[in-house]
Amino acid sequence: MEKVYADLIRKGKKTLEEVPERLREKVRALLEAEGGGGGE
- What DSSP assignment string belongs to 9-29? HHTTS--GGGS-HHHHHHHHH
pLDDT at 4 over 90: yes
Q: What is the structure's pLDDT at 37?
A: 55
pTM recorded for the entire structure: 0.79
Q: What is the structure's pLDDT at 17?
A: 97
Q: Measure CA of the first residue to CA of the last residue in the chain; give whole Å.
A: 20
Whether residue 14 contacts residue 36, with contact meaning beta carbons closer than 8 Å, is answered with: no
Domain limits of the chain? 2-33
Whether residue 2 contacts residue 25, with contact meaning beta carbons closer than 8 Å, is answered with: no
How do residues 5-34 score in pLDDT, each as one tens digit? Answer: 999 999 999 999 999 999 999 999 999 998
Whether residue 23 contacts residue 9, with contact meaning beta carbons closer than 8 Å, is answered with: no
